[in-house]
């Protein structure tokens, strides 16, 4: 018995020794696991414990994990499905292409109801459509339809909110479930969530909307537009603030923001954190909570100090003197600040997660804006400091181009929207992103003319300065011929056909009398073709298929030129194919007494107009004149003397932002182009009507005249390349 107890004792002792050596560590961990876990939880610093964790935000900002007013992704998705019942719409599934095949791309606006109020902004949108070249008053011709009901402000707390939109649109016989309709919207949803609820079912309509969430955006179908104020100009618009003689890219301030700070609700998180990057030197970030009716009830400990600092800086001065401008989200994703920064050449730094940027389908925003992340705000200063000066200048130049091309007026915003839709209909003839993002922009590069860069006059520098082909077409407009050709036109045909660069001569027969038989036309070394025209002067700028060369020499039957003059002018034009290059020059001026634009044919040191009675230009301007400009302007020039010259010069200046070029001419041309009192009055009326339509004065003045080498120099005539230019 004693021996048995002894064996049991040694067995237990051995077991404890084995457990200690091989499992003691695990047992120790198991025994104290819960205690260590509790201790670890106690030692982890609280978010509001400033002695243990350095805080980058005020304690009250972090008391909760999130703003309850901010909808979650699931809530946004549910709201989206309730609003966009046709959320899978694409052009191929929700748009009737057959309506656009017969008459082309035509747009119809519903008749306006006098009893239905329309906001100033929506009235401008409808006016822009009616001013476009696509507008039609016949719904049977229409490819796209625009409601006359104002859908811009769908915040039901707004005074401009239209009730019962669903009932009204269902009563329209053309509605067809929204198919082939375009709906514009600037404000959707209301306090506190500001969802994308429009308050009515858009059906299969295309939605052109500001502050578009990427989650709700239907790619290739919807269009994101910018948020613009009600005083945004109808047409024309102000110029950008970056001029050729502006200060260098580096300005006084690197990064600025001045605006409202929301104390509660959606959008408050981003703006509440902006004060962290303010250093009072080259980064200025100012906010104020002094807005709204009950701001004092919600104000925090920073409000009084923020409001005091806010008044120390002028907003316009900050825009002028800063390189980058922070564009944070507001209650909605977009804000007016976006367009303000573009115009000021202050590179936008976007802090609006999930925003589908305006016209992103066409515009490459990576060349004009810095897209930041709201959660990485503290990285923004170091990120913008790393951008080299040459890149900063490229950003600034692109902001000016985009502002002028697409955003400076309601007309341009609306027309860009229409052109994007039109490109979707004919994708084989749509504009490339290069055309959209390069001067002069997509609105002025017509894909119906060509989609090849070499066919346009603007891109020779981007293509390695490839010059146009060394041939031109002489285009002579004849109006007052009798039974035989007059001596002036005979001499003109002989002089032009003698040019080594002349490929063909086209005569536009605009007389009511029948054209002369082919046997009565002079024999020339180049083909001579007669085109039967009408009595309208605008016909001279029609894009005739017979014009085969890029260069067009526009002439009148009474123009007098020598072969040397033609040769030299063409050589000059090949270096400047985007401009008008010619001989008779005139100028415009602002008449302070009459308070209107004046026009003079007197010889002065300045010129802004080259008469198309003797001028070279690119044939693309024929297409632009006929297809881009509305019919109303062409009717205007048909009724006023020499108005077609003004319109063509204004059109080219509006496209290029450059003046025409005058070349050397013989003394006998000095009185060419002078106008009598009646004609001069008509020209001035024409000029002011055109300026009113464009919304600004596009003409650019110049004091440049290009002469050949040794022109008028007292040297042997044999040393001169164009000797006949010196002869009287």
Catalytically active residues are 645
| Buried/exposed 633-666: b ≥16 CB within 10 Å, e otherwise | bbebbeebbbbbbbbbbbbbbbbbeebbbbbbbb
User: Please, which residues have CB within 8 angstroms of residue 20's CB and are 6 or more apart in sequence?
Assistant: none
- What are the angstrom distances between the C-alpha of 658 and each of 412, 457, 649? 20, 13, 10
Kindly give the pairing relationship between strand 614-618 and strand 551-556.
antiparallel
Q: Are 637 and 585 in contact (CB under 8 A)?
A: no
What is the rounded CA–CA span in Å between residue 572 and residue 235? 34
Q: Which residue has the tokens 């067009």?
A: 552
3-state SS, one letter per residue, for 582-599: ECCEEEEEEECCCCEEEE
User: Please, which residues have CB within 8 angstroms of residue 448's CB and are 6 or more apart in sequence?
Assistant: 429, 623, 627
- What are the angstrom distances between the C-alpha of 213 and each of 421, 446, 725? 20, 31, 65
Question: Which segments within 334-412 are labelled E, that is strand?
Answer: 347-351, 370-371
What is the rounded CA–CA span in Å between residue 31 and residue 21? 16
3-state helix, strand and coil shares in percent for the chain, rounded to the nearest 5: 40, 15, 45
Evaluated on CA atoms 580, 586, 591, 594, the torsion sign reads negative
Q: Are 119 and 158 in contact (CB under 8 A)?
A: no
User: Please, which residues have CB within 8 angstroms of residue 605's CB and are 6 or more apart in sequence?
Assistant: 703
Dig out the tokens for 596 from the structure. 């209107």
Dig out the tokens for 337 from the structure. 């600040």
- Region label for 657, one of left (φ > 0), alpha (ψ between -120 and 50) or beta (otherwise): left
DSSP code of 538? G
What is the rounded CA–CA span in Å between residue 348 and residue 353? 14
Q: Which residue has the tokens 């906001």?
A: 119
The whole-angstrom distance between residue 285's C-alpha and the CA centroid of its chain comes to 29
To 5 degrees, how large is the angle CA 181–CA 184–CA 188?
125
DSSP code of 220? T
Question: 555 - beta bridge partners?
Answer: 476, 614
- What are the angstrom distances between the C-alpha of 674 and each of 585, 599, 702? 10, 11, 19
- What are the angstrom distances between the C-alpha of 167 and each of 170, 175, 202, 228, 669? 5, 12, 12, 28, 69
Question: 663 - beta bridge partners?
Answer: 706
User: Please, which residues have CB within 8 angstroms of residue 401's CB and are 6 or more apart in sequence?
Assistant: 439, 441
């Amino acid at each position: 018995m004693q021996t048995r107890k002894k064996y049991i004792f040694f067995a237990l002792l051995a077991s404890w020794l084995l457990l200690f050596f091989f499992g003691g560590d695990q047992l120790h961990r198991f025994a104290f696991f819960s205690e260590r876990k509790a201790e670890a939880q106690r030692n982890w610093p609280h978010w509001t414990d400033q002695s243990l964790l350095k805080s980058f935000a005020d304690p009250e900002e972090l008391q909760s994990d999130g703003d309850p007013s901010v909808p979650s992704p699931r809530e946004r998705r549910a709201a989206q499905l309730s609003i966009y019942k046709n959320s899978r719409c694409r052009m191929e599934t929700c748009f009737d292409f057959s309506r656009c095949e017969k008459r082309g791309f035509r747009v119809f606006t519903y008749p306006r109801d006098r009893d239905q109020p329309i906001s100033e902004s929506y009235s401008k949108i409808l006016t822009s459509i009616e001013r476009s070249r696509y507008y039609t008053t016949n719904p049977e011709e229409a490819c796209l339809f625009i409601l006359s009901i104002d859908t811009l402000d769908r915040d039901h707390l707004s005074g401009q909110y239209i009730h019962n939109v669903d009932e009204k649109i269902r009563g329209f016989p053309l509605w067809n479930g929204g198919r082939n309709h375009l709906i514009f919207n600037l404000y959707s949803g209301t306090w506190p969530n500001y969802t994308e609820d429009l308050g009515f079912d858009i059906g299969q309509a295309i939605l052109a909307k500001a502050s578009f969430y990427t989650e709700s955006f239907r790619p290739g179908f919807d269009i994101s537009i910018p948020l613009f104020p009600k005083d945004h100009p109808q047409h024309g618009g102000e110029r950008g603030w970056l001029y050729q003689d502006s200060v260098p890219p580096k300005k006084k301030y690197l990064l600025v923001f001045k605006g409202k700070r929301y104390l509660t609700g959606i959008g408050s998180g981003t703006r509440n954190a902006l004060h962290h990057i303010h250093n009072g030197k080259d980064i200025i970030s100012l906010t104020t909570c002094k807005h709204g009716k009950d701001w004092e009830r919600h104000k925090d400990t920073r409000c009084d100090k923020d409001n005091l600092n806010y008044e120390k800086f002028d907003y316009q001065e900050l825009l002028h003197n800063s390189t980058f401008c922070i564009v944070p989200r507001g209650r909605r994703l977009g804000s007016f600040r976006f367009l303000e920064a573009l115009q000021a050449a202050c590179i936008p730094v976007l802090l609006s997660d999930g925003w589908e940027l305006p016209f992103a389908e066409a515009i490459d925003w990576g060349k004009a804006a810095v897209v930041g992340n709201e959660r990485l705000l503290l990285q923004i200063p170091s990120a913008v400091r790393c951008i080299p000066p040459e890149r900063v200048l490229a950003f600034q130049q692109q902001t000016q181009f985009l502002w002028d091309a697409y955003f400076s007026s309601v007309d341009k915003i609306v027309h860009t929207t229409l052109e994007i839709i039109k490109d979707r209909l004919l994708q084989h003839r749509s504009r490339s992103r290069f055309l959209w993002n390069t001067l002069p922009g997509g609105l002025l590069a017509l894909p119906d003319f060509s989609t090849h860069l070499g066919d346009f006059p603007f891109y020779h520098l981007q293509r390695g300065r490839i010059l146009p082909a060394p041939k031109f077409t002489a285009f002579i407009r004849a109006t007052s011929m009798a039974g035989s050709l007059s001596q002036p036109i005979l001499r003109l045909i002989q002089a032009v056909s003698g040019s080594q660069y002349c490929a063909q001569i086209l005569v536009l027969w605009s007389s009511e009398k029948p054209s002369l038989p082919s046997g009565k036309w002079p024999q020339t070394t180049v083909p001579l073709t007669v085109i039967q025209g009408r009595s309208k002067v605008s016909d001279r700028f029609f894009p005739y298929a017979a014009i085969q060369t890029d260069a067009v020499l526009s002439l009148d039957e009474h123009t007098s030129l020598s072969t040397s003059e033609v040769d030299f002018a063409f050589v000059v034009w090949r270096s400047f194919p985007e401009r008008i290059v010619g001989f008779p020059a005139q100028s415009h001026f602002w008449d302070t007494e009459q308070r209107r634009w004046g026009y003079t044919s007197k010889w002065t040191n300045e010129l802004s107009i080259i008469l198309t009675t003797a001028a070279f230009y690119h044939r693309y301007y024929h297409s632009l004149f006929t297809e881009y400009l509305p019919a109303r302007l062409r009717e205007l020039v048909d009724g006023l003397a020499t108005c077609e010259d003004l319109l063509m010069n204004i059109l080219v200046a509006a496209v290029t932002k450059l003046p025409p070029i005058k070349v050397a001419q013989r003394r006998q041309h000095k009185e060419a182009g002078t106008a009598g009192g009646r004609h001069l009055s008509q020209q001035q009326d024409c000029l002011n009507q055109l300026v009113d339509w464009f919304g600004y004065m596009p003409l650019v003045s110049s004091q440049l005249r290009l002469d050949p080498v040794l022109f008028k120099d007292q040297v042997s005539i044999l040393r001169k390349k164009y000797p006949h230019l010196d002869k009287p």
